[in-house]
């Protein structure tokens, strides 16, 4: 069982809050250009 805990210890020691914040930040940053691309392809105005 020590073998499994040795493999899982780096995964459980990760700071999941920081990872979640970085993922959400990336989604927010990518949402802006995505809206521009969608509007440009549809030929729409704001």
pLDDT (tens, 9 = 90+) of the chain, 46 residues, equals: 566 667 767 666 778 899 999 999 999 999 999 999 999 998 877 6
Are 39 and 46 in contact, with CB atoms under 8 Å apart?
yes
Does this model's pTM top 0.75? My answer is: no
CA R_g for the chain: 20
Q: How many domains does the chain have?
A: 1
> Phi and psi at residue 12, in whole multiples of 5°?
-75, -20
Q: Is residue 4 part of a domain?
A: no
Q: Is residue 30 part of a domain?
A: yes
Q: Is residue 1 part of a domain?
A: no
- The residues, ordered by sequence, that sit 6+ positions from 46 with a Cβ below 8 Å of its Cβ are 39
């Amino acid at each position: 069982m020590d073998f499994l805990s040795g493999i899982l210890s780096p995964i459980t020691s990760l700071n999941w809050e920081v990872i979640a914040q970085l993922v959400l930040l990336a989604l927010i940053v990518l949402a802006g250009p995505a809206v521009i691309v969608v509007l440009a392809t549809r030929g729409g105005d704001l």
